[in-house]
Structure 1
Amino acid sequence: MAAEQRKLLEQLMGSNLTTRAAQLPLTDPKVCRSYLVGTCPHDLFTNTKADLGPCPRVHSEPLKQEYDSLPEPEKKKLGFEHDYLRDLSSRIDACNRNIDTLQRRLEKTPDEVRQTNALLKAISDLGSTIANGLLEVEILAETGEVGRAYDEYYKVRHAQAAKADKEKELKALSETSGPSGHQKLQVCDVCGAYLSRLDNDRRLADHFFGKMHLGFAQMRKAYESFPKEMRGRYQGGGGGGGGHGRGVQQMDDDMGHVPTGPGGGFGDGWNKGPRGPRAGGGFRPRGPRRGW
């Protein structure tokens, strides 16, 4: 879309814009180095919620061709790849921070945490009561105290019923906890959009093949294509590479199929793998949706 808009602008303004861009040297600060090396992030999200607006620097196809024709030693000497990597790292870090924020919004409230812990403790205590009761029943039966064994077994059955009730409460709390629990929302670990486990395959396909998701997937894939030691230079404030999310292979899989689970939802594999520049994170899945 951005390239089409640029061509339209060139047609309206004549050849002046193209001529001026072509006259610029590769090293001119007005030239977009991300565009020369790979794909400028500004071109990936036009007309989406992640739209970055027009790039303030010049995108010149002749300059890109000139750069591509340079021998590798000359490219390394220019160091444009470092500028591109820094740009990618900044954009991915911003996306990761947004994902974390959205994940926290879906976490349980303190009261829900207390309820969950109380139910877990009750279930554990009842489990111990049942185990000890069954052992007592066995001992009493072996010693011929049938009446006491029958009374003890009645207590065991009562504890088993109470445990089943507590387990049902815990399941209901897990399904409805959090501000959006009833919708079973989850945050896409690539682009930060909200997804629902209740979505059908078509709606999930609209997301995974949407421009915003594919744009972030492309940025993450481009970032991970750089050598690890080179990426490490740009992982100070926002990154340390072992973050949460998905890796290159998982993102390739996203583009090839729509992951499904029971009932048309997405399965457990859609949110695994390294997400990009990040310091000590981890998709639990916790896990950051804004809509799509």
Structure 2
Amino acid sequence: MAVLAAAQLLDELMGRHRNTNPNEKIKKPNWEDSEYCKYYLVKFCPHDLFVNTRADLGVCPKVHDDEVKELFEKAESSYKKAQYVEEFLRFCRHMINDVERKIQKGKQRLELMNSKPEGPPMTQAQTEKNQEQVQLLSEKVKSLVQEAEEAGTRGDVEQAQGLMKLCDRLKEEKDQLLKQQENSHWSMTVELAAAQEKQMEVCPVCGAFLIVGDAQQRIDDHLSGKQHVGYFKLRQAYEEMNEAREKELQEKERRRREDRDKDRSSRGGGLGSDRRDRERMERDRERDGDKDRKDRDRSDRERERERDKDRHRSSRDDRSSRHEDRDRDRDRERDRDRKHRKDRRSSRDRSRRRSRDRH
């Protein structure tokens, strides 16, 4: 990334063709080349908005050239130019959706922090009375357990079971009193913390946490910060380009209706003109449908070409792996044959030596 940033800086200082030879023919810039940043040609590059912030996208790997941007703006409307605009809007919409989710999570977090426990806190007298009741219940439970043990040793099972049930009920009552005392203590702690903390809010543009009623200098610093300004610029550009695209579509539809009305008035109206208008509308619809189909077919062909490349690459890798496996199997088979022949020769030699020894 550092090398790329240095190269971009040198291009700005010395020109894009700083490394070309004097006799070498310089290629004219073309905005359709893949080396240029599409987002910068359309409006601006989002990578330049959040430098050294938490939302930093890093250095853009593409080239930012003002001359090429002018060529893009002067170029006539085409499918590729519209595709560049659509990609820019899609990227802006993705980033805006991310920050909207961040804002929603921040609001939920503040609601959870500001939520209070149920029930008011207990007074000092209520706390002392609660402690006395807990102590009495503990003594009763202890005495009941002793009586149940004595009844069990005497063999009176029914009395022992009844005493244990009564003991369980007293234990539940004691647990409820202890829980009430703990909730009261938690409520007092939360109220004290809420009184000491400052009230917060979430910025509706960038999702940062702000202090309600903070000093004006800190508010101005936040509003002029890179992250806030970047998201504001992103939202503004997205809304303006969407509105412009909708107005352009409405203007095309209005001109089409005016052309139909003029043609109808010039031909005098009647059933024949209505039929011709319907036929013209159908032809326009078919032409628009053919254009959309061509665009879809073009994108489908590009995707199919990419898939073919991936399949060719994977099949080539598979063939190479199969060749390697086959070579390894052939080597292992050759080694086995060589060992088998060697074993046979050694067995023949042993049999010959034994026969010579007998003779």
TM-score (norm 1): 0.48
Structure of greater Rg? 2
